Amino acid sequence: MTQTAARQPLTPDTTQLASDLHQLEARLLKTDPKQKPELYRSLYCTISLRQMQLLAKVSQPGASQTH
Which pLDDT score is estimated for 54? Answer: 92
User: Is 29 part of a structural domain of the chain?
Assistant: yes
Number of domains in the chain: 1
Q: How many CB atoms lie within 10 A of CB 24?
A: 19
The residue range of the domain holding 38 is 16-58
pLDDT in tens, the chain (67 residues): 445 544 556 688 889 999 999 999 999 999 999 999 999 999 999 999 999 999 998 887 655 455 4
CA–CA gap between residue 52 and residue 67 (Å, rounded): 23
Considering the domain boundaries, does residue 4 fall inside one? no
- Amino acid at site 20: D
Whether residue 50 lies inside any domain: the answer is yes
Inside any domain, residue 66: no
* pTM, two decimal places: 0.73
Q: Cα–chain-centroid distance for residue 30?
A: 17
* End-to-end alpha carbon distance in the chain: 25
Q: Is the CB of residue 44 less than 8 Å from the CB of residue 60?
A: no
> What pLDDT digit, counting tens, does each position of 11-27 carry?
888 899 999 999 999 99
